[in-house]
Structure 1
């Protein structure tokens, strides 16, 4: 197994943190959204990502009657987790959410995929959740899934400590 104490670490802030968020989230279509974070274990559910902006802001469509919208109205602090198992890339973000109901924002983030949950773009239940990350942590393997598996397997067989070619670090947006 890779020696986590020797794995390269790269903490990022500002624009560099935003770039890393965009890089790791660009291929993600889904993530886990945690609301009601003060009441352990919180409420966790999968969400379809509509868009990730240049500043790392995430956008989601949601029903105005959903529990998550109520949770956000009560406490806007949320957690997002994203994983790309193909590349062994992972992202955990803490942020602040807001709910938008204006037609311009709904039109901007609407996709036909949302028809599975709503009765078209004019469904009065549609809201848009915006999550602005504040901080987080990322884990990224540069050599990819296959090479990481080979390196980890070799380490397990030989007992040697080897890097899986990854890097991790804190993010401060």
Structure 2
């Protein structure tokens, strides 16, 4: 599998799952919260909308290291992304992510100074893209037991994205 294929798979899984847990450090403890992800494959970045008064904004200002995790057990797809987060007030990027649902969530307009974006620049990501057919999974597990081999349950790849 080529590096480009790995990147394509990574962003495809993130786009399919679209809600991930953003993990940041809060006074020596890790804290996670669900966030809607917006990927930018041109820059290999992952974006989120946030309120400037949220705790995560302060946490990221003190420590840019974050982790993103995405999971869909039903389809056996999982992603873990380590990266650096930064806060942005890029009006064009905020506009790209804004929707009626976001307006309800934020209870303001997109140009409100309280609305900001978090950009995560991944350094390393690992994904598991599993076989979503239960019958195929059972076949692979049964075959592995009979042949004393490992079952082929999908792809597991690590992708280094830091320059």
The separation in 2 between residues aligned to 1:30 and 1:58, in whole angstroms, is 11
**Unpaired segments of 5 or more residues in structure 2?**
none
Match of 2:39 in 1: 52
> Structure with the greater relative contact order (CA < 8 A, sep ≥ 6): 1 or 2?
1
The separation in 1 between residues aligned to 2:152 and 2:144, in whole angstroms, is 12
The count of aligned residue pairs is: 159
**Unpaired segments of 5 or more residues in structure 1?**
1-9
Moved >4 Å (runs of 4+): 155-162
**Larger strand share, 1 or 2:** 2
Match of 1:95 in 2: 83
Q: Secondary structure at the match of 1:27?
A: helix
Task: Give the TM-score normalised by structure 1.
Answer: 0.78
Kindly report the root-mean-square deviation, in angstroms, between the aligned alpha carbons of the 2 structures.
2.6
**Aligned counterparts, 1:92-131, within 5 A:** 92-118=80-106, 119-131=108-120
Q: Judge which range, 148-157 or 56-65, deviates more.
A: 148-157
**Aligned counterparts, 1:127-142, within 5 A:** 127-141=116-130
